[in-house]
Chains A and B, each alone.
Chain A
Amino acid sequence: MLKYLVASLVLLCSITSARAETIRIGYIPIADCLQLYVAEELGYFKAQGLVVDKTPLNGGSLIAMAVEGGELDAGWSNTASLAIAADRGFDFAILSPGAFEQAPDRREHSLLVAKNSPIRTLADLKGKTVGINALGNINEIAVAALAAQSGLSVKQLRLVEIPFPQMEAALTSGHVDAVLTLEPFVTIARNRGATRVLEPAALKPFGTRMLIAAWFAKRSWLDKHKTAAAGFALAMRKASAYIEKNPAQARELLTRHTKLTLDLAQQITLPLFAQKVEDSDVQGLIDQAARFGYIKKAFPAQRLNLPATQP
């Protein structure tokens, strides 16, 4: 009896897995990847006949290398790294929009200093050490653009890599003079009160609405897996709509997939989850990346965008 049950279960599993296509996804277990948690828990992937095999990784460049090497099908990356990769000849395209920032109340990146710091303006950062989570990514270009607004070159600053969770400690112990951090660390730091916000909208040089990060894949993979790609993009769009309509429930979901407490999850500023990427959401970043030499030459945002997966 048991044997038959097991056999029929195995058969059932093999039938379902034959129909469902598996996508291997690399992500960072942070609040910005909220769409992924929502789509998974609410069964949006299953509805598209997809099985998503998700691997938490520590940083965007690790994910990009794994996607390029073929160990992952798609992954999460900040938009600046996608632009830099495109400039270096990598053939990544946006599979689905991820998190956006929008002025004035959906800003989640801030530049912090210690509460008793003598730094009052961006110009005071000259010669100082600034902590960012990864070199050469969206946050470094933001620091370069903010510094330029005060007539400073990024070369006049010392940029060091510090993981987001350690930034506040590095700041209060005086090891660094400023950090560019994001939610939930902005809220955590504000609640603790040992820091001061030097620039509340650190990504404002890129525009009033901009794409922080997106789900991307290699174009060669996208061409071969058109149905799966479209299904994934649709599931993510549904997740975005759900988050925008049910923020309280979405925040509760966060506590199951990140280390956030419910209290904190209710307090933080969430990024915007929009249905569609406009060229203007990406172009500002590409232009600034070119202006400060992170890419050789600006290119049209369309080159990263994949219209096929847009509504």
Chain B
Amino acid sequence: MRRGPDWQGLVFCLCVALAWEVAARQELLPPRLFPALTSVLAQLAEGTASGAFPRALAKTLACMGAGLLAAACMIPLGIWAGRSEQVWRTIGPSVEFLRSLPPALMALPAMLLLGIGDAPKIFAVFFAASFPILLCTMDGVRAIPPLFLDTARTLQVKPSVLLFEVILPAAAPGVFSGLKTALPMAFIVAMVSEMIGGADGIGHLLLRSQRSFDIPQMYAIILVVALTGGGIAQGLYLIESFSLRWYSGWKRVCGQRCD
């Protein structure tokens, strides 16, 4: 399953970095608005060493934690809605309507209703993360192969065993695909709400560096954000492949897809 390091990808990445450096050094774009990669990296090192970037990032990640809160609420709801046609018929239309709203948009009304502290940020992040988790969990539950449920019924297992040992593990691929959409989204929304009426966090720092003409720092923060986003995605991938070990094995045995 696992391959060696992706040389092609690494080489391409280095080429892009080199192109950036050359374009900036040759002043193909206004040099003060497009600094060289090396001066951005120097800013990155400075901001990291001084603790300014890590402190701001910690604030943002804490705010993003509201995404985990969304998971805690939406996974149970998704399982319920996936099992019961009645529940989905009740909440379905509202969910379909609300989820079409771009999540970053919610930062604005949230600020009007909840003010300028942490509450509107937590609300916006919760809102953004909820729908992917809810819908993917529900789909995951609906896609459980009938064989699993029939077997459980034949063996007359207790409801709690059915839930925790059959439904939850079998729906896990769906839950994870929801989390893989929701948590990076939560990170984005956390930053956007820090830019609108925020007093701290990485989004606020980004806005401040643009406002005070500190352009290399602005790019350095964007690199921090990119690296963090990549880290979140990679972390989720690792957790997923660890907890779904059975799934890939099962897929091989059955020779069929079940997501």
Instruction: Tell me whether A and B are bound partners.
Output: yes
A residues bordering B, Cβ < 8 Å? 61, 64-65, 68-70, 81, 84-85, 88-90, 129, 131, 134-137, 158-162, 170, 173-176, 294
Chain B interface helix/strand/loop/mixed: loop
Taken together as a complex, chains A and B put the C-alpha atoms of A129 and B119 apart, in Å, by 15
The reply to whether the CB of B84 lies closer than 8 angstroms to some CB of chain A is no
Pick the contact of B116: A70, A88, A89, A175 (CB < 8 A): A175
Cβ proximity bits B150-169 to A, threshold 8 Å, 1 near / 0 not: 00000000000000000000
B207 and A90 contacting across the interface, CB-CB below 8 Å: no
B199 and A68 contacting across the interface, CB-CB below 8 Å: no
B213 and A64 contacting across the interface, CB-CB below 8 Å: yes
* Contact (A176, B213) CB under 8 Å given A160-B197, A160-B199: no
CB neighbors of A among B204-246 (8 A): 204, 207-208, 210-215
Pick the contact of B32: A90, A131, A161, A294 (CB < 8 A): A90
The reply to whether the CB of B19 lies closer than 8 angstroms to some CB of chain A is no
The reply to whether the CB of B145 lies closer than 8 angstroms to some CB of chain A is no
B208 and A174 contacting across the interface, CB-CB below 8 Å: no
Pick the contact of A135: B33, B111, B211, B215 (CB < 8 A): B211
Taken together as a complex, chains A and B put the C-alpha atoms of A131 and B197 apart, in Å, by 9
B116 and A68 contacting across the interface, CB-CB below 8 Å: no
B198 and A90 contacting across the interface, CB-CB below 8 Å: no
**A84-B213, A85-B213, A158-B200 provided; 18 other pairs, C-beta below 8 A?**
A65-B33, A68-B30, A68-B32, A81-B212, A81-B213, A88-B32, A89-B32, A131-B116, A135-B208, A135-B211, A136-B208, A136-B211, A136-B212, A158-B199, A160-B198, A162-B197, A174-B115, A294-B212
User: Which residue on chain B has the smallest CB distance to residue A92?
Assistant: B213
A68 and B212 contacting across the interface, CB-CB below 8 Å: no
B115 and A135 contacting across the interface, CB-CB below 8 Å: no
Taken together as a complex, chains A and B put the C-alpha atoms of A162 and B115 apart, in Å, by 11
B207 and A161 contacting across the interface, CB-CB below 8 Å: yes
User: Which residue on chain A has the smallest CB distance to residue B120?
Assistant: A175
CB-CB under 8 A from A176, the residues of chain B are: 116
Pick the contact of A61: B115, B199, B200, B211 (CB < 8 A): B211
Cβ proximity bits B40-63 to A, threshold 8 Å, 1 near / 0 not: 000000000000000000000000
B115 and A175 contacting across the interface, CB-CB below 8 Å: yes
Pick the contact of B33: A68, A162, A170 (CB < 8 A): A68
A160 and B214 contacting across the interface, CB-CB below 8 Å: no
CB-CB under 8 A from A85, the residues of chain B are: 213
Closest 4 CB pairs of A and B: A136-B212, A175-B115, A158-B199, A136-B211
A170 and B116 contacting across the interface, CB-CB below 8 Å: yes
User: Which residue on chain A has the smallest CB distance to residue B116?
Assistant: A175
Between B116, B117, B200, the greatest number of chain A beta carbons within 10 A of the residue's beta carbon is seen for B116
* Contact (A159, B115) CB under 8 Å given A61-B211, A90-B213, A136-B208: no
A137 and B211 contacting across the interface, CB-CB below 8 Å: yes
Pick the contact of A70: B30, B197, B208, B211 (CB < 8 A): B30
Taken together as a complex, chains A and B put the C-alpha atoms of A278 and B80 apart, in Å, by 73
* Contact (A135, B207) CB under 8 Å given A70-B30, A88-B214: yes
CB-CB under 8 A from A131, the residues of chain B are: 116
CB-CB under 8 A from B30, the residues of chain A are: 68-70
User: Which residue on chain A has the smallest CB distance to residue B204?
Assistant: A135
User: What are 30 residue pairs bridging A and B, where the CB atoms are less than 8 Å apart in the complex?
Assistant: A61-B211, A64-B213, A65-B33, A68-B30, A68-B33, A69-B30, A85-B213, A88-B32, A89-B32, A90-B32, A129-B116, A129-B117, A129-B199, A131-B116, A135-B207, A135-B212, A136-B211, A136-B212, A137-B211, A158-B200, A159-B199, A160-B116, A160-B198, A160-B199, A161-B197, A161-B207, A162-B197, A170-B116, A175-B111, A176-B116
Q: Shortest CB–CB separation between residue B40 and chain A, in angstroms?
A: 14
CB-CB under 8 A from A69, the residues of chain B are: 30, 33
Q: Shortest CB–CB separation between residue A218 and chain B, in angstroms?
A: 10
